[in-house]
Structure 1
Amino acid sequence: MSMALKQVFNKDRTFRPKRKFEPGTQRFDLHKKAQASLNAGLDLKMAVQLPHGEDLNDWVAVHVVDFFNRINLIYGTISDSCTDQTCPVMSGGPRYEYRWQDEHKYKRPTALSAPKYMSLLMDWIEVQVNNENIFPTNVGTPFPKTFMQVAKKILSRLFRVFVHVYIHHFDRVSQMGAEAHVNTCYKHFYYFVTEFNLTDHKELEPLGSRSKRRIKLTS
């Protein structure tokens, strides 16, 4: 990444604080292993594959946190142009509208502006990944039976951020010279969720034709 681009993707623009792995933990080692594969220029399809002898839950947990960090950073860089006025509905073009639902205030699917949806989404994910009962950090502590279900929900909702950014704010991404960076992050995400069947194919449809034109997933 160029110095100019690093200045764009600085910590002050992060939409939410990064979730970090503690050095010396198994999760930290897995995170470093995943990063090493990417930095070595390994083909993304190969990089997402489960390393020999590693636990799938651990591998998924590491990537969920990593994608959360990366995607909230990407959204943070364009958030100044994503407002209640410019994006009154959280959508991915005219065919796809995303409504928010949770266990607290919004018990029924509710139409919200994109920035409001994003804020609730990042808050919700932050709570999930910091919950030791869902994302245990101690080696030997078992994952709950519901872990994979929660991980899938997080990833499906994070994908919607890509959809919104690509369809409504890609000009802004291009202006910042961040197109290649965002495309690589998206391809990494796409290959990971499809490798382990972590996102419903219907969720991926909004970027189907777009990915063929701009993102070149087959490369």
Structure 2
Amino acid sequence: MNNVQRTIPPKKMEHLSQSKMRELLTVTIEGSNLREAVKLPPGEDINEWLALNTMDFYKQVRLLCATFENLCTPTTCPIMKAGRYECQWVDVNTGQRHKMGSATEYIGSVMNWIGTHIDNDTIFPKKSGEPFPPNFKDIVKRISRKLFNVYAHIYRTHFLSIVDVKEEAHLNTCFQHFILFMSEYQLMVDEHCMAPLKKLVEIILEP
């Protein structure tokens, strides 16, 4: 990854045929049984299961962003976009939308916002048996939406560069796990938010 030049513009997914794109998007780590992995284990508390997996998804995205940081810079990505869709920061209290500038600025804000929530013991209790807030699932949905936006940017802007360094299996496995979990527990983002990766999500959720 250190050989990737910061000035190289992102390659476009649209240049590939549908069959080739599907082939690249369905490559995953061998032996991954993700449909079973998202199932609630017998006797497990649903909120603790949601919390555990949400923290794991957050860590996965942080690691992905660190791995691909040479691909995504204020120079290559001056605007946080996923294809033709521009991502904006939505204030959860007022509902107002704000432009965040570069993709790195947006992603940094997302990671800090999620990290603050996860570190808050009143939202993500650290001890087993401690109560979760009544709106915990809604909080998880908001976190999931912001993580989805980061994935949308990675796929629509940097995917072919990731294929070049042969990291697509890891990325695809992380994203498929994330989508299958969201689907299993009714955490899916709305149609507008899903639009940049709608076809990929449909592939993942095929029976």
* Counterpart residue number, 1:15: none
Query: Any unmatched runs of 5+ in structure 1?
Result: 6-38
Partners of 1:90 and 1:97 within 8 A in 2: yes
Query: May I ask how many residue pairs the two structures share in their alignment?
Result: 179
What is aligned with 1:132? 121
Question: Does residue 50 in structure 1 map to residue 63 in structure 2?
Answer: no
Q: 1:152 aligns with which of 128, 141, 145?
A: 141
* Contact 1:78-1:172 at 8 Å conserved across structures: no
Alpha-carbon separation, structure 1, partners of 2:204 and 2:141: 24
- Quick one: distance in 1 between partners of 2:82 and 2:115? 23
CA shift digits 1:103-151 (9 cap, x unpaired): 79x9841112111000111011110001000000112210011211111
> Are residues 1:174 and 2:178 paired?
no
Question: Distance between the aligned counterparts of 1:151 and 1:211, measured in 2?
Answer: 19
Matches of 1:87 and 1:64, distance apart in 2: 27
Preserved CA contact (<8 Å) 2:89 2:106: yes
Distance 1:84 1:161 in 2: 15
TM-score of the pair, normalised by structure 1 = 0.74
Q: TM-score, normalised by structure 2?
A: 0.77
In the alignment, what sits opposite 1:26?
none
**Pairs within 5 Å for 1:7-86:** 41=31, 43-86=33-76
Counterpart in 1 of 2:174?
Answer: 185
Pair 190,107 (structure 1): closer, same or farther in 2 beyond 3 Å: closer
Kept in 1: contact 2:88–2:98 (CA 8 A): yes
Deviates more, 1:146-155 or 1:81-90: 81-90
Give the match for residue 34 of structure 1: none
CA contact (8 A) 1:133 1:144 kept: yes
The one-letter code of the counterpart of 1:169 is H
Rounded to whole Å, the distance in 2 between the matches of 1:128 and 1:121 is 11
Computed over aligned residues only, the root mean square deviation of the Cα atoms, in angstroms, reads 2.6
Q: Distance in 2 between matches of 1:162 and 1:71?
A: 8
**Which protein has greater RCO, CA pairs closer than 8 Å, 6+ apart?**
2
Residue type at the aligned position of 1:128: H
Task: Using the aligned pairs only, state the percent identity.
Answer: 37
Of 108-117 and 180-189, the range deviating more from structure 2: 108-117
Closer, same or farther: CA 113–206 of 1 in aligned 2, 3 Å: same
